[in-house]
A and B are shown apart, each in its own frame.
Chain A
Amino acid sequence: MTLQPSKVLGIGLVSALGTGVSATVPALYADNPRLPALPTCLKTDLHLPVFDVPGLSRQPDQPGGVSMQLLRLALDEALADARLTKAEMRRLRVGVAIGTTTACQLNNVPFYAVLRTGQRPAPEPLLDFLNGNLAELIHRELGLHGPQITVSNACASGADAIGLAHLWLHQDMCDLAIAGGTDELNKIPLDGFNSLGICSPLPCRPFDAERRGLNLGEGAGVLIMARTEVPDRPGTTFTVNGFGKTADAYHITQPSPDGTELEKAIRQALAQAGLASDDLGFINAHGTGTQANDLTEASVFARLYPDGIPYMSTKALTGHTLGAAGAIEAIFTLLMLREQRAARSHRFSTLPPDIAFAPLRENLPLKDKRFALSTSLAFGGSNTAIILGIQ
Chain B
Amino acid sequence: MDEQTAQFRLDFKQKLIDWLQLEGLKPEDILDDAPLFKTGLGLDSLDAVEIVVALKREYGIPQELMENNRAIFATFATLADFVQTNKK
B49 within 8 A of A: yes
Instruction: Find out whether the CB atom of B49 lies under 8 angstroms from the CB atom of A196.
Output: yes
**Among listed A78-86, A171-179, A250-258, A324-332, interface-contacting one:** A250-258
Interface centre among A195, A197, A251 (most CB of B within 10 A): A197
Contact of A195 among B44, B45, B53 (CB under 8 A): B53
Instruction: Find out whether the CB atom of A253 lies under 8 angstroms from the CB atom of B45.
Output: yes
In the complex, what's the smallest C-beta–C-beta distance from B65 to chain A, in angstroms? Answer: 15
B1 within 8 A of A: no
Count of chain B residues near A, Cβ 8 A: 6
**Chain A residue contacts of B52, Cβ below 8 A:** 197
Interface of A is mostly: loop
Interface of B is mostly: helix
**Chain B residue contacts of A195, Cβ below 8 A:** 49, 53
In the complex, what's the smallest C-beta–C-beta distance from A292 to chain B, in angstroms? Answer: 9
In the complex, what's the smallest C-beta–C-beta distance from B48 to chain A, in angstroms? Answer: 9
Instruction: Find out whether the CB atom of A253 lies under 8 angstroms from the CB atom of B46.
Output: yes
Instruction: Find out whether the CB atom of A252 lies under 8 angstroms from the CB atom of B53.
Output: no
**Chain B residue contacts of A254, Cβ below 8 A:** 45
A56 to B30 Cα, complex, angstroms: 54
Q: Per-residue CB proximity of B65-85 to A under 8 Å, as 1/0? A: 000000000000000000000
A196 to B52 Cα, complex, angstroms: 10
CB closest chain-A residue, reference B50: A195
A254 to B48 Cα, complex, angstroms: 13
Contact of B49 among A197, A251, A252 (CB under 8 A): A197
**Chain B residue contacts of A251, Cβ below 8 A:** 44-46
A195 to B46 Cα, complex, angstroms: 10
CB closest chain-A residue, reference B44: A251
**Chain A residue contacts of B44, Cβ below 8 A:** 251
A252 to B21 Cα, complex, angstroms: 16
**Chain B residue contacts of A253, Cβ below 8 A:** 45-46
Chain A residues close to B by CB (< 8 Å): 195-197, 251-254
Jot down 13 A-B pairs with beta carbons below 8 A, ordered by A.
Answer: A195-B49, A195-B53, A196-B46, A196-B49, A197-B49, A197-B52, A251-B44, A251-B45, A251-B46, A252-B46, A253-B45, A253-B46, A254-B45
Chain B residues close to A by CB (< 8 Å): 44-46, 49, 52-53
